[in-house]
Amino acid sequence: MKKQMTYTTILLAAIMLTGCGENNMSTMFASDTATNGMKEEAPAAAVAEAEDHADAEYAEEAPAEAPAEAGEAAASKTKKDRRTAEADMADDLTLDAVLDGDYVTGGDVIGEPEPEPDPDFDNGAEPFVLTAGEWNDNENWGFFANLIHNGTIEFPSYGLNPVNRVAVTLTNGGAPVANQIVGLISGDSTCWTAKTDKNGRAYLFYDNSMADHELSLITDQAKEFTFTAPALASGQGGADVPTLEFELETENESTGYDLTQVSFILDTTGSMGDEISYLQKDFSAIAEEVAAEGVTFSVNFYKDEGDEYVTSCNPFTDDVLNVQKILNREYASGGGDTPEAVAQILDEVLTKGDWQEDANKIAFLIFDAPPHYGSKEEEMILNAVNAAAYKGIHVVPVVASNAERETELFGRALSIMTNSNYVFLTDDSGVGGSHLEPIIGSYEVELLHDIIVRNINEIAG
């Protein structure tokens, strides 16, 4: 039902998440952060002789490739030796040494500060190799609605329900207005808030319990528009997805940002070796292609409870060399079961991260396993995703090998509710395990490198 439009002026600071229906997101907008074992030395004469002939021998014959089993054993031994050495060094630490800055503690490395990364560093992964596809459910809403209607896919997924979507376009004189907050409210409660993109588009969501309730769209200096949320009619196999699209006229001007923040959120558990190696090898090329004044990067890692760490986060910086150094320290380990600490890392990065208000924002979540089940985790995820929508953080999931359908659905819900693309690796590269074919329409297979660069450039404008 369409009510009479009235003008209203609403302070954006008053748009707080006080819960709508079954959701309680009142804490949404918190923005504080957040082997070398001993070796015997060779005799001097032997060393000199080896040095005299090393170059010639290397040029004549490349070293034989080690069997895969030997490589895995060596990698395992290296990790064990590294941990043993770190423990030995930790025992030798003194308070004076720590205060003098001679040692780094509290991270993956304990010992003298690492040297700058070697530009010739080779971890065995090749850049520009991993292949991927992308899909945008918001731009293919009819396709998505039919999947729901036929019961092919179902939501919510780990607390995220993108089905009850309200698409809003904010304009001024017919021109799109970017980076303005739009809110969806029910009475005195806020259901969802989001920042418009460069096309003036924002996507808002409400809980199933709000069906048949009056909801209002609001924004600063815009007309308030009230409508009745449609009931969820029973379909052939699932619910009929509502199609709610509105255009609001505002007196505000479109706002552009000169700054861009790019975050990589990386699962570093044992199954993610190929993806970690890829990003280590390709990050500098990605940074070079999107390099511009005002672009900063952050890399953030997570594993699971009982592992070496649960989350390990880093601030944004324009020091690409330092980001590369942080990346090069990481290796795949831990995990052991399917669910990982996805809820915790989204809370750390999206809710508590040091995002700037006047910046374009994008975060790539590279992962292959879903979050843990549980009401605590679901609330944490929902709050983090609403924080991302409110701040204008476009969260792009990149689903890796050996993922299952529940991981796909979680990723697609995440991309829909943060106005982003859904990205998935494919088998075309021949790298890693089998990659799940998503339930989507036709798509083009591309290099993951190209998709990442394009998504950053599109967000940066």
Does residue 104 surpass a pLDDT of 80? Answer: no
Average pLDDT, the chain: 79
Q: In this predicted model, what pLDDT tens digit does every residue of 447-457 receive, in sequence order?
A: 999 999 999 99
Examine the pLDDT at 416 and tell me if it is beyond 80.
Answer: yes
Evaluate if residue 346 carries a pLDDT over 80. yes
Instruction: Report the alpha-carbon distance of residue 460 to residue 361 in Å, rounded.
Output: 8
Query: DSSP alpha helices (H): ranges in 290-355?
Result: 320-328, 342-346
Residue 215, classified by CB atoms within 10 Å of its CB into exposed (0-12), middle (13-18) or buried (19+), is buried
Pick from 97-101, 329-333, 417-421: least confident: 97-101
Tokens (6 digits) for 190: 């806020």
pLDDT of residue 235: 61
pLDDT interval class at 220 (50, 70, 90):
confident
pTM, 2 dp: 0.75
Within this chain, domains 6-28+140-249 and 131-135+256-460 share the same CATH topology: no
What would the pLDDT profile of 226-265 be if each residue is shown by its tens digit? 999 997 766 656 778 889 999 999 989 999 999 999 999 9
At 321, is the pLDDT very low, low, confident or very high (cuts 50, 70, 90)?
very high
Amino acid type, 299: V
pLDDT of residue 337: 78
More confident residue, 10 or 459: 459
CA gap 278, 402 in Å, rounded: 16
The SS3 call for residue 192 is strand
What pLDDT does residue 140 have?
98
- Find out whether 223 and 203 touch, Cβ atoms under 8 Å: no
Q: Which fold has domain 6-28+140-249?
A: Immunoglobulin-like (2.60.40)
pLDDT band at 439 (very low <50, low <70, confident <90, very high): very high
Burial of residue 47 (number of CB atoms within 10 Å: 0-12, 13-18, 19+)? exposed
Question: Angle at which helices 273-289 and 448-460 pack, to 10 degrees?
Answer: 50
Instruction: Give the Cα separation of 28 and 388 in Å (integer).
Output: 9
What is the chain's percent helix, strand, coil content, to nearest 5?
A: 35, 25, 45
What is the predicted pLDDT for the residue at 373? 93
Lowest mean pLDDT among 56-60, 296-300, 312-316, 382-386: 56-60
- pLDDT, mean of residues 290-313: 95
DSSP labels, 114-160: PPPPPTT---SPPTT--EEEEE-TGGGHHHHHHHHHTTSS---BTTB
- The band of 461, judged by pLDDT with boundaries at 50, 70 and 90, is confident
- Tokens 């804490």 label which residue? 27
**In percent, how much of the chain has pLDDT > 70?**
70
**pLDDT tens digits, 14-68:** 444 444 644 443 333 333 333 333 333 344 444 344 444 444 443 444 444 444 4
Q: What is the pLDDT of residues 109-139, one digit of tens each?
A: 333 444 444 444 444 445 568 999 999 999 9
Please, which pLDDT band fits residue 364 given cuts at 50, 70 and 90?
very high
User: Has residue 106 got a pLDDT over 50?
Assistant: no
Q: Tell which wins on pLDDT, 235 or 293.
A: 293
The residues spanned by each domain of the chain are 6-28+140-249, 131-135+256-460
Q: Are strands 131-135 and 422-425 parallel, antiparallel or unpaired?
A: antiparallel
Q: What is the DSSP letter of 106?
A: S
CB 333 within 8 A of CB 270: yes
Judge whether residue 12 has pLDDT over 80.
no
- CATH code of the domain occupying 131-135+256-460: 3.40.50.410
Q: Above pLDDT 90, what percent of the chain?
A: 62
